[in-house]
Structure 1
Amino acid sequence: MSEPIRPTPQPGILDIAPYLPGKSGAPGSQTIKLSANESPLGASPKALAAMLEGAARLEVYPEGSSRVLREALGDVHGIDPNSIVCGNGSDDLLHLLAQTYLGVGDEAVMNRYGFSVYPIITRAAGAMIVMVEETDYRADVDALLAAVTPRTKVVWLANPNNPTGTYLSAAEVRRLHAGLRPDILLVVDNAYAEYVTADDFEVGLDLARTNENVVMVRTFSKMGLAAARIGWMVGPDHIVDAINRIRGPFNVNLPAQMAGAAATRDTEFNAKLKAHNAQWRDWLSAELAGNRMRVVPSQANFVMVLFDTPEMASAAFVALADAGYIVREIGASYGIDNGLRISIGSEDAMRGVAKVLKSMDQTQ
């Protein structure tokens, strides 16, 4: 039988592996979700109140440029609001950057275990992704620079990185940028910047404000507003102009704009969230350091635990699930078959996870 005549996707689209989100428990179950790096303290109460206020005005279109949100970000971070673009999550902005600066015949460079969305958006734009090996699960600046060719148009860098939790120091990020041609766009994805405690880390803000080929991308998803889908980007005028030309005219809804603005200004809640994460990230890392488990040092709101074998990782996933904890398997998405990614949750959740995994370590 002949194939039916019907619309067909552009070449290469059906070859793209879809994004695999973290698993959730069954509806109504008592499982604790530690698979998606969500806030263990919920959202800012001020953000919740602002979202409810916005929800009372659902009949009106939102202001198209997200002005109230851009102005809040500008005030708190010391940024010109005109250099900010907001999006329906940071994924929205990453897609727009790929669509704008990549095309057929181009290449984008990323580290091997970088965010799994980068290959999707690169290939969707018709370009090729170039995967660069890492050094002990950390991006290697020299290797990234060595992978650049005349076809390179974008370098994707998640800092800190997901799913490893590792990061590049400010000096290393600057060294990476200095080694790139001026026509190559460096995208510094700081999705987890709010949780970093390392003294030698810097967000990509200064680079984005002082160079013509750097943008910094951030998100509110890790700050308790994952369901609201809010992202933001800072870049030079010519990039901001290009992205604004193709983004959706009302791409951030009104309740989200208002919630994001309130969350930005609620510095007390954000500091509380950071302190909780640092305490229990460091505690869990120390507790799980054992003969058959290795915790990769993390600067994010999760830890990546490596086991001796893929079979041990699978057994650990099952044991945690049986105990009511859903964590992230990272073999299918990232090729780290012997690893699990565990979000930092409540004190009770962290103690429960440690008890399960330490019990396994002692019996195997």
Structure 2
Amino acid sequence: MPNRPTPQPGILDIAAYVPGKSGASGSKAIKLSANESPLGASPKAIEAFRQAAEHLEIYPEGSSRVLRTALGEVHGIDPDLIVASNGSGDLLHLIAQCYLGQGDEAVMNRYGFSLYPIVTTAAGARIVLVDETDFTADVDALLAAVSERTRIVWLANPNNPTGTYLSDAEVRRLHAGLRPDILLVIDSAYAEYVTAADYSVGQDLVDAAENVVMVRTFSKMGLAAARIGWMYAPEHVVDAVNRIRGPFNVNLPAQMAGAAAARDTEFTARLKAHNAQWREWLTGRLSGNRLRVVPSQANFVLVLFPSETEADAAFEALMAKGLIVRQIGVYGIPQGLRISIGTESAMRAVAEVLKDFQ
């Protein structure tokens, strides 16, 4: 018998999530490591947050009704089929807890979001990593990896940290190849930044199927500090997740700020336009004989260097100029740096430093 409490089997085998680096408190470093909004938050969201701060003594409404109503209006979906949460990562944990257990498997592409293995293993299941084609999820390979033990397929679309995406047709082909008892989780965290005409957030597929969930977040559109995520899912999935989520899992200021941000479509459009302009500019400026920029539909680019040594040298050169980007060896791409799309001045500064590596 152990002489102290011990975690469940597998918990201590989990590699903890590693966030992007930040500058020291009070430093003037420019953070381009966490895919945050370069334009701040919606002014309407900020004002709503301030007003909510006058009522910190009361519990928030438990179902995030105000937030769900706003999301329903903006996206044209039934608010009763939405679950709000303390960031989308919380929802991924809840989904895994509901649908995975000992002996089960969940499938994901090799360079998918690093939280998927964590939530899968924490639920007692096994993660199955599937090789990609040119840093893009391969539908045929994903389907080939499905076994009788598969219960979930995780798909970030666009993907983090590569920025690549699957078209609506390819996502539908993936879904069509899955058994009806397998849950397809479409993580559309970067949907607001996609400009590709053949992309779909997954909302229509949720409407048409009983085994598809769409997960979204406000973190990439200016409210990372507020921690607001949401899920659109069939009624039976909503019911299951609501049974185990915390009763007050989204705080009042976050609910109010999220509702205001959802309705501020003008700000969202401005953020998207800024990102598209500077994503294209940075991609063109960095692409060369020695550097490759993976085509991105997100609010970051993945820059591939000839070697891990050169990627590390570029990281240090950027750090020396106060530019913090993301090393992604944890994803199995040690020769890459992920660079968030920031302000014009930040993008020009990054290009200036990295010209010596081209």
User: Does the CA-based 8 Å contact 2:291-2:357 persist in structure 1?
Assistant: no
1:24-103 to structure 2, matched below 5 A, reads 24-103=22-101
Change (3 A) 1:246 1:21: same
In the alignment of these two chains, the number of paired residues is 358
Tell me the SS of whatever aligns to 1:24. coil
Where in structure 1 do 4 or more consecutive aligned residues deviate above 2 Å?
none
Q: CA deviation at 1:359?
A: 2.4
Q: CA deviation at 1:77?
A: 0.3
- For residues 273 and 263 of structure 2, the distance between their equivalents in structure 1, rounded to whole angstroms, comes to 17
User: Does the CA-based 8 Å contact 1:62-1:254 persist in structure 2?
Assistant: yes
Q: Which residue of 2 aligns with 1:264?
A: 262
Tell me the SS of whatever aligns to 2:296. coil
1:56-101 CA deviation, whole Å, 9 max, x = no partner?
Answer: 1000000000000000000000000000000000001000000000
Q: Which residue of 2 aligns with 1:255?
A: 253
User: Does the CA-based 8 Å contact 2:219-2:225 persist in structure 1?
Assistant: yes
From 318, 333, 337, the equivalent of 1:320 is 318
Give the TM-score, by structure 2 length.
0.99
Stretches of structure 1 that go unaligned for 5 or more consecutive residues are none
Q: Which residue of 1 aligns with 2:209?
A: 211
Q: Which residue of 1 aligns with 2:352?
A: 355
Stretches of structure 2 that go unaligned for 5 or more consecutive residues are none
**Is the aligned partner of 1:295 residue 2:298?**
no
Identity of aligned residues (%): 76
1:111-190 to structure 2, matched below 5 A, reads 111-190=109-188
**Is the aligned partner of 1:222 residue 2:220?**
yes
Q: CA deviation at 1:360?
A: 2.9
Q: CA deviation at 1:191?
A: 0.1
Q: State the AA in 2 paired with 1:174.
A: R
Tell me the SS of whatever aligns to 2:225. helix
User: Does the CA-based 8 Å contact 2:326-2:339 persist in structure 1?
Assistant: yes
Q: Which residue of 2 aligns with 1:309?
A: 307
- For residues 138 and 318 of structure 2, the distance between their equivalents in structure 1, rounded to whole angstroms, comes to 33
What is the aligned-residue RMSD (CA, Å)?
0.8
User: Does the CA-based 8 Å contact 1:209-1:234 persist in structure 2?
Assistant: no
User: Does the CA-based 8 Å contact 1:16-1:120 persist in structure 2?
Assistant: yes
Q: CA deviation at 1:28?
A: 1.4
From 323, 335, 338, the equivalent of 2:332 is 335
1:250-281 CA deviation, whole Å, 9 max, x = no partner?
Answer: 00000000000000000000000000000000
- For residues 219 and 89 of structure 1, the distance between their equivalents in structure 2, rounded to whole angstroms, comes to 6
User: Does the CA-based 8 Å contact 1:50-1:259 persist in structure 2?
Assistant: yes
- For residues 272 and 299 of structure 2, the distance between their equivalents in structure 1, rounded to whole angstroms, comes to 9
Q: State the AA in 2 paired with 1:345.
A: G
Q: State the AA in 2 paired with 1:266.
A: D
Q: CA deviation at 1:4?
A: 7.0
Q: Which residue of 2 aligns with 1:10?
A: 8
User: Does the CA-based 8 Å contact 2:286-2:292 persist in structure 1?
Assistant: yes
Give the TM-score, by structure 1 length.
0.98
Tell me the SS of whatever aligns to 2:55. coil
